[in-house]
Chain A
């Protein structure tokens, strides 16, 4: 191939994920080597494969690099305030219980600024599918230490290395009461797509953590190479252990990453519990048996 400028589409056709994406907004703002796009790819393919009615699906995201997903999908989507993706999604679900509500956000948005909402949504077991793209850092604001940053990492706020213990998100949400907890890296694209399809079959709070590189701020500062090097590291160091005790799956900077489906259990969700409580205290004739829908 010559060194000339090439601007045309080679073998023009239709990308199967284009039906989920707002293609007029492409190319997107994510950096070269950033894998948020890969997670969106897996999500879009999970939607296509599981044949979910896209009209009954809403995607809610917060602020941050991952928060931009809401603007790039051709679904009913909502880009909310920082950390409040889960409260907005909870309101959406309670007002219209027939909706499939997906929360798609980053680790800083879900576990730091919105940490309280995360544990309480898991405790109440609200029927939300939460996809948390964990790039181990606050990426959009310039690489500050996040609650998920593993020890000894160099960040812009800890130039001599972090020393705080970090959150182990699967352990946190399992303890709070989530019914489905899985973790994959962006290397495990097909497993991630399958996990997202499985989460749609569950009723209750489902949490999928996706470990993703931030080549611009995390990998560069810690001299871990670029996005491709990180993907090779994920390939080499991740171990699939389904049902692993979540207390043992904490992350380190260069160590092993335990991935897999950790929790899959059944527990009545918020609206089921509400209805059964009201039936008990008020009597069945005063309780709506059909799910109410605000229109």
Chain B
């Protein structure tokens, strides 16, 4: 059960890779898909590990990712 949920605004991403590198629980990876500007945005490969610490949101220079805490007991909506 994940404690947090990561959200990605794909169109704002410039694929700097900060969120992938500095995520403490290694939730993210850059995907092979493109956004409309031709960058590879990240995607959550291990969403169940997300703790909702929002460090990815603090590092993101493009305001394109953020994590929120999920209230305990609530089912993650995917």
Residues of A participating in the B interface, judged by any CB pair closer than 8 Å: 1-13, 15-18, 21, 23, 26-28, 30-38, 41-42, 45, 189-190, 193, 226-228, 231-232
Contacts and interface: CB of A to CB of B under 8 A. Distances in A.
B27 interface: no
A11 B36 CA distance: 18
Contacts of A42: 58
A7 B36 contact: yes
Interface of B: 5-12, 14-18, 21-22, 31-37, 39, 41, 43, 54-55, 57-64, 66, 68
Given A30-B61, A41-B61, A7 B21 contact: no
Given A6-B41, A11-B6, 5 more contacts: A17-B57, A21-B63, A35-B61, A37-B60, A37-B62
14 contacts: A4-B33, A5-B36, A7-B11, A7-B35, A9-B11, A10-B8, A13-B7, A30-B61, A31-B14, A32-B14, A41-B61, A189-B59, A226-B16, A227-B18
B68 A41 contact: no
Contacts of A32: 14-16, 39
Contacts of B6: 11
Contact of A15 (B35, B59, B66): B66
Nearest to B68: A13
Contacts of A33: 14, 16, 61
A21 B61 CA distance: 13
B7 A41 contact: no
B59 to A, nearest CB: 6
B11 A3 contact: no
A27 B62 contact: yes
Nearest to B17: A228
B14 A38 contact: no
Contacts of A226: 16
Contact of B10 (A6, A30, A231): A6
Counting chain B CB atoms within 10 Å of each CB, the highest count among A4, A15, A23 belongs to: A15
Contacts of B43: 1, 10
A228 B33 contact: no
Contacts of A30: 61-62
Given A6-B34, A228-B17, A38 B59 contact: yes
A144 B61 CA distance: 24
A295 to B, nearest CB: 34
